[in-house]
A and B are shown apart, each in its own frame.
Chain A
Amino acid sequence: LAKTTQPISMDSYEGQEVNITCSHNNIATNDYITWYQQFPSQGPRFIIQGYKTKVTNEVASLFIPADRKSSTLSLPRVSLSDTAVYYCLVGDLYSSASKIIFGSGTRLSIRP
């Protein structure tokens, strides 16, 4: 499965839009991009998944350029409760879940 690279940490302020970019240069044709969020002392929680262009749900948007070598998770108008670790994952329908690599994620800190 494609290796992903994302910033170790990011800081922002309440009310701002936060964009976290993930690089996956070796993404394969069948790969999807998935983001999870993990609050302190909790297990990760699914945020969003996409294949190309743009996906939006009630929590976030996911932007994927045409070459799909990167993706950007966009969190609109963040609040203190968005402080968490965000994981970018890449995988396809046919690979075992055992091949998924969560990595260290991006630690997002939101300040008042």
Chain B
Amino acid sequence: GAGVSQSPSNKVTEKGKDVELRCDPISGHTALYWYRQSLGQGLEFLIYFQGNSAPDKSGLPSDRFSAERTGGSVSTLTIQRTQQEDSAVYLCASSLTPAASTDTQYFGPGTRLTVL
């Protein structure tokens, strides 16, 4: 079946603008994750959704970042008043079972965000 998809693939915005990044997880996957990856760096955990439970937002770097997951499927990551340091690749992943650290995560191709 189809893998995790993300849109847009690239986004260029001006400092101070809001952006929305979209993730479509694999159908039937109950857990959804967002990560951020700066150039040449590892992945930084942002947030994850597990079924109908409250999301774990412990990785969000500031209150400018928020995310929602509608109907247990599609998720949107919103960054308000973007800053140049927000420039990075934003990766989404999903897993079949409720999120635990041993679950296999299936990643999307990412959205490359550039803030001018």
Which listed residue (A43, A87, A96, A103) contacts B100, Cβ 8 A? A96
B101 in contact with A95 (CB, 8 Å): yes
Beyond known contacts A43-B108, A93-B102: 7 more, CB 8 A cutoff: A34-B104, A42-B107, A46-B105, A92-B101, A92-B102, A97-B100, A97-B103
B100 in contact with A105 (CB, 8 Å): no
Interface of B is mostly: loop
Q: What is B's interface to A at a CB cutoff of 8 Å?
A: 4, 31, 33, 35, 40-43, 45, 48, 56, 58-59, 91-93, 95, 99-110
Cross-chain pairs A/B with CB under 8 angstroms, 23 sampled: A32-B102, A41-B109, A42-B110, A43-B4, A43-B91, A43-B92, A43-B108, A43-B109, A45-B107, A46-B104, A46-B106, A89-B101, A91-B102, A92-B102, A93-B101, A97-B56, A97-B99, A97-B103, A98-B56, A98-B58, A100-B45, A104-B42, A105-B42
Which listed residue (A46, A95, A97, A104) contacts B33, Cβ 8 A? A97
A49 in contact with B59 (CB, 8 Å): no
Q: What is A's interface to B at a CB cutoff of 8 Å?
A: 1, 32, 34, 41-46, 49, 87, 89, 91-105
**B57–chain A nearest beta-carbon distance, Å:** 9
B107 in contact with A98 (CB, 8 Å): no
Please name all residues of chain B whose beta carbon is closer than 8 Å to the beta carbon of A97 when the two chains form the complex.
Answer: 31, 33, 45, 48, 56, 95, 99-101, 103, 105
A43 in contact with B110 (CB, 8 Å): yes
CA distance A96 to B106 in the complex (A): 17
B45 in contact with A98 (CB, 8 Å): yes
B100 in contact with A98 (CB, 8 Å): no
A91 in contact with B104 (CB, 8 Å): no
CA distance A92 to B102 in the complex (A): 6
Please name all residues of chain A whose beta carbon is closer than 8 Å to the beta carbon of B108 when the two chains form the complex.
Answer: 43
CA distance A43 to B109 in the complex (A): 5
CA distance A102 to B31 in the complex (A): 18
**B16–chain A nearest beta-carbon distance, Å:** 28
Please name all residues of chain A whose beta carbon is closer than 8 Å to the beta carbon of B92 when the two chains form the complex.
Answer: 43
Which listed residue (A32, A98, A103) contacts B42, Cβ 8 A? A103
Also in contact, A96 and B99, with CB within 8 A (given A41-B109, A42-B109, A43-B110): yes
